[in-house]
Each structure stands twice: as C-alpha cells, then as structure tokens.
Amino acid sequence: MKIEIRKVKIKDAQGILDVLNPIIKTQNFSSMKEENTLADQTNFIQNLPSNAIYNLAFDLENLEIVGIQDILPQSKNFNGTGEISTFVNLNYHRQGIGERLMKATLREAKDLGYKKIQAIIRTDNRIAISFYKKNGFREMGSERIFYELNLLKKARQN
C-alpha cells in the first residue's frame, strides 16, 4: 500500500467525511454524536487557525483518503498547547496509517512551536488509548482519559 501524508485542502472535505462519518456512526471510537455535513467540514477547513495542523493519509493505489489527524491550538492566544484528534478509515485499522500521520503531524507541531499536545479519549476507546500511549503520550486525568505528550521533553530524548 502506497500512502501519501499531506495537508488537507478544501477539495478533500467529502473524502474526509467518508472516513469520519462511519466512525461517528459506530459510536465506539469518538465522542462525536452527530455526523458532519459537507458544509460543516468545508467550514472547518476554511476557518482553521493559522497555527492549526490538519493532515490526511491518502491511499495512492485506491485513490481515497484513509486517515486524518489534526492539532488545534487550545487557546486563541497560542500558548504552545494543542489538542490532537486522529481518525483512520475503519477498513484500514492496524496498517500503520495512524503512525505515519503521527510522525508527520508531530514534526510539523514542533516546527510551529507547539510544546504540549493533549488527547482527550473516551475511557472505553482502548484502541485510541493504546495508540497514543505507543506514541509517547502519558495519562494525565481520570474523569475522561486525558493524555499529554511533552514535545520539548521528547525532543531531548531523541
């Protein structure tokens, strides 16, 4: 499988929905309750803050988006902290898509001055918990599972 990781473009909105909405529909992997519309996704892409990151994984053989990942700054006055979300097409789980997205997205986050990346994960989403732990995130909360990756500390370790 040949996968390209690249920035999201407005023209990708429908392909993103083709990944995102089936995941939302399962109610197993996301806290989102309602499927997104094309207008919702287009608006989201158009209104991303300048220091946001929104990447996708594109399968060059099947010509489809197979994963998406974003990091959004946690405040309007950027303090170096962002919140990450990762979604992989249900038919492409356990094929390294998330790993490839994570590598590219974290590299970009460092370049943009992010210091900490946080992930808020449902307590019953064991797949996501395992994925984020495997990528260096550590548990920080208890009510909802909250994971954090300190990019400055990670850079010193490498």
pLDDT tens sequence across 104-158: 999 999 999 999 999 888 777 888 888 999 998 888 765 455 556 677 665 444 4
Among the residue ranges 14-18, 25-29, 97-101, 144-148, the one predicted with the least confidence is: 144-148
Boundaries of domain holding 100: 3-157
The number of distinct structural domains making up the chain is 1
Per the document, the length of the chain is 158
- pLDDT given at position 156: 47
- pLDDT given at position 122: 78
- E strand or H helix that includes residue 147: strand 145-150
Percentage of the chain with pLDDT > 90?
58
- Specify the DSSP class assigned to residue 91: G
Report, as an integer, the average pLDDT of 89-113: 94
- E strand or H helix that includes residue 101: helix 97-111
Q: What is the mean pLDDT of the chain?
A: 87
Residue 101 confidence (pLDDT) above 90: yes
CA distance 125 to 131: 10
Indicate whether this model's pTM tops 0.95. Answer: no
Q: Are 41 and 22 in contact (CB under 8 A)?
A: no
- pLDDT given at position 145: 53
Among the residue ranges 32-36, 56-60, 117-121, 147-151, the one predicted with the least confidence is: 147-151
CATH of the domain at 134: 3.40.630.30
- Of 5, 154, 121, 149, the C-alpha closest to 66 is 5
Query: Between β-strands 81-88 and 116-121, what pairing exists: parallel, antiparallel or unpaired?
Result: parallel
